[in-house]
Chain A
């Protein structure tokens, strides 16, 4: 029961305080991230990091840093260059919400 309450509380937080849109996040993720990182998870044959295991704040910070070039990666700096704050929040919320079964 305690766990259930906790789970519901998590959903509420995810829904409200981020102000993010999961559907918009999915469509951005499809267009910009999924080719390498997968819509849920990256290919088992690929070298790309699994981002679905990261939480919202981590992803938000990382994407902002890549965009603002305070964190260096040629490919990530190029890919994230055009993202707005809202895009970043939506993408971070989308991957935060992904829990592949295996």
Chain B
């Protein structure tokens, strides 16, 4: 009897300690996942800029193959090698953890959570310098680059600022995780806002090149916009499905919005936040509900009332403005259209054909021979590799220009002869940028930048074209906009989006600053 008890208690003890070990392992693996993988693959295992990693998506995949991808990274993608960073046991544990963990439910991230997350780095902003601490002719010459860092987090992740007339770095601000979007305050040139892949927003003082405050607005999602008076910021998340309006000065959250609605197929869905944009046309924000296919117009008045425009498209993403900011051109992935929306009437003007999986990036618009032409890029994962050109006055398709691959972001400038598009197809073409002649609407040149070249951007004066050589290039390359001679290279880890402060002057890249005058 005694023996039985002893055996039993040993057995119980063993089972207990085994289960403790198992949950310890799961806890450890989850911690590793959150610290090394989550900023790209999603804290909820649902994917973000990289694929979803969960029991469903990894079903049937060979653990050995997964382990080897984690060790060596994946060439031609952002995935870095974790050999030497994580132990072999940790990598094996992670693979097991990923193949047994389901996608997590959408976590709550409320106004209160956001409030608590505000960090103040500079308590008294009057102690900051009253003018730039570096030589610069105009603050519009500042170009900000979202440097991801090889691992999407860590010391390599920062916003790097460059003087686009000297091509010299003037400052950098560490962002903890990969910087994704940089916005500039349209009324006060000293403030910029950087959004990271883990949805923190940093308010940055460009005069002293440091962060003064930050807030965590969600788990991930690139959406951020700033109002024309520079007083409000709106940010939206993929996880959880909400958006928030912040005081641009204090980053204090003022109101959250649950993103849900009836999609074009009649289904009630909870939705990721797509693009968010402030416009010189009015005191409003426009926000795209990706999955609900709706665009909401939020008035910046008491209570922030919302006007909902429904049935815009299936899986909305990014957009650009035209006609003094009254018209919004928004890309819809799944039905391959770009919808034109009138922000005054708050209704759809027309849906225009847009190649294949349109991703307009920041969009571009140019005035040529009396016409205002809009340029739209496409991921183009079908045979149709084109850049769409629309007449934005008549709202009709002018031409679909064949290019050598999928494209992600067009750049244009009133003073530059070419519209630049980045070829992103994952082979040798990824090294290149193609240049479309504004007048002939044909590809005139192909630039071999190297690395994974993307996110072209002109300097505010249009004299130089900046291009990120991306994750295999580790540099930003600068070209003369007319001769395409390489004039400079600025080294940094895995540079991605490039944002000129000139954008606040010309609203959409390619338009002249006077386009905006009619709006105010």
Q: Which of A39, A48, A100, A101 has the most CB of B within 10 A?
A: A39
Q: Which positions 67-83 of chain B face chain A at CB distance < 8 Å?
A: 71-73, 75, 80-81, 83
Q: Report if A45-B150 is in contact (Cβ < 8 Å); known contacts: A35-B73, A39-B451, A100-B491.
A: yes
Q: How far is the CA of A75 from the CA of B83 in the complex (A)?
A: 9
Verify if B473 is at the interface (C-beta below 8 Å from A): yes
The bracket for how many chain A residues form the interface is 20 to 34
**Nearest CB on A from B121, distance (A):** 22
Contact with A along B139-162 (1 / 0, CB 8 A): 000000000011101111000000
Q: How far is the CA of A36 from the CA of B149 in the complex (A)?
A: 13
A39 touches B474 (CB 8 A): yes
Q: Which residues of B contact A39 (CB under 8 A)?
A: 451, 472-474
Verify if B84 is at the interface (C-beta below 8 Å from A): yes
B451 touches A46 (CB 8 A): no
- Is chain A's interface secondary structure helix, strand, loop, or mixed overall? loop
Q: Which residues of B contact A41 (CB under 8 A)?
A: 474
Q: Report if A45-B155 is in contact (Cβ < 8 Å); known contacts: A35-B75, A39-B474, A40-B474.
A: yes
Q: Which residues of B contact A36 (CB under 8 A)?
A: 73, 81, 83
Q: Which residues of A contact B151 (CB under 8 A)?
A: 43, 45-46
B75 touches A45 (CB 8 A): no
Nearest B-chain residue to A75, judged by Cβ: B83
- Is chain B's interface secondary structure helix, strand, loop, or mixed overall? loop
Verify if B408 is at the interface (C-beta below 8 Å from A): no
Q: Report if A44-B155 is in contact (Cβ < 8 Å); known contacts: A39-B474, A75-B83.
A: yes
Q: Report if A46-B84 is in contact (Cβ < 8 Å); known contacts: A35-B73, A35-B75.
A: yes
Verify if B205 is at the interface (C-beta below 8 Å from A): no
Verify if A34 is at the interface (C-beta below 8 Å from B): yes
Q: Which residues of A contact B491 (CB under 8 A)?
A: 40, 100-102
On chain B, the number of residues with a Cβ less than 8 Å from chain A's Cβ atoms is: 23
Verify if A30 is at the interface (C-beta below 8 Å from B): yes
Q: How far is the CA of A40 from the CA of B473 in the complex (A)?
A: 9
Q: Which residues of B contact A38 (CB under 8 A)?
A: 150, 474
Q: Report if A48-B84 is in contact (Cβ < 8 Å); known contacts: A39-B474, A102-B491.
A: yes
Verify if B439 is at the interface (C-beta below 8 Å from A): no
A47 touches B85 (CB 8 A): yes
Q: Which residues of B contact A43 (CB under 8 A)?
A: 80, 149-151, 154, 156, 493
Q: Which positions 25-59 of chain A face chain B at CB distance < 8 Å?
A: 30-31, 34-36, 38-48
Nearest A-chain residue to B72, judged by Cβ: A35
Which B residues have a C-beta under 8 Å from some C-beta of A? 71-73, 75, 80-81, 83-85, 149-151, 153-156, 451, 472-475, 491, 493
CB-defined A-B contacts under 8 Å, sample of 24: A31-B75, A35-B80, A36-B73, A38-B150, A39-B472, A39-B473, A43-B149, A43-B150, A43-B154, A43-B156, A44-B493, A45-B150, A45-B156, A46-B80, A46-B81, A46-B84, A46-B85, A46-B151, A47-B84, A47-B85, A48-B84, A75-B72, A75-B83, A100-B491
